[in-house]
Amino acid sequence: MSFRPPSSFTSSSNTALLALDYELAAEKADALGRAGRKVEAALAALAKAKAEGAATAHCTHLADEAAEFVWALLVQREICGFRSQADAVERYQIPHDVLIRVGVGRRKAEP
């Protein structure tokens, strides 16, 4: 993926950003987009399961999975320089039962 700098950076009088900086910015933006799409898909699956009256255990599993994706999104947003997460919570309409699971470590089931 390529990233074209704003025209204000192309002037020879300004200190030009290095090509690596452009590539890093492009990669950050791409990763943020991917994380957002994963959150949207996980939240849609959770909403669908709830609407269909799925079993509580299944909904809990989907909420845990959505919380993992939300956690990854929030971390990626901080990497990109966004310090407030309130707008992400509002934008993605993250339900409370998912928010309370964000950042919580879960134990793997013993075989």
54-101 residue pLDDT tens: 899 999 999 999 999 999 999 999 988 898 999 999 999 999 999 999
**What is the number of structural domains in the chain?**
1
| pLDDT at 16 > cutoff 90 | no
Q: Does 58 map to a domain?
A: yes
Per-residue pLDDT of 20-41, as tens digits, reads 888 888 899 899 999 999 999 9
Q: Tell whether 105 is covered by a domain.
A: no
SS (H, E, C) the chain: CCCCCCHHHCCCCCCCCCHHHHHHHHHHHHHHHHHHHHHHHHHHHHHHHHHCCCCHHHHHHHHHHHHHHHHHHHHHHHHCCCCCCHHHHHHHCCCHHHHCCCCCCCCCCCC
| 3 within domain boundaries | no
Residue 52 lies in a domain: yes
Q: Determine the structural domain holding residue 92 and report its residue range.
A: 19-99
Residue 11 lies in a domain: no
- Model confidence at 6: pLDDT above 80: no
Query: What is the reported pLDDT for 106?
Result: 74
pLDDT, position 23: 85
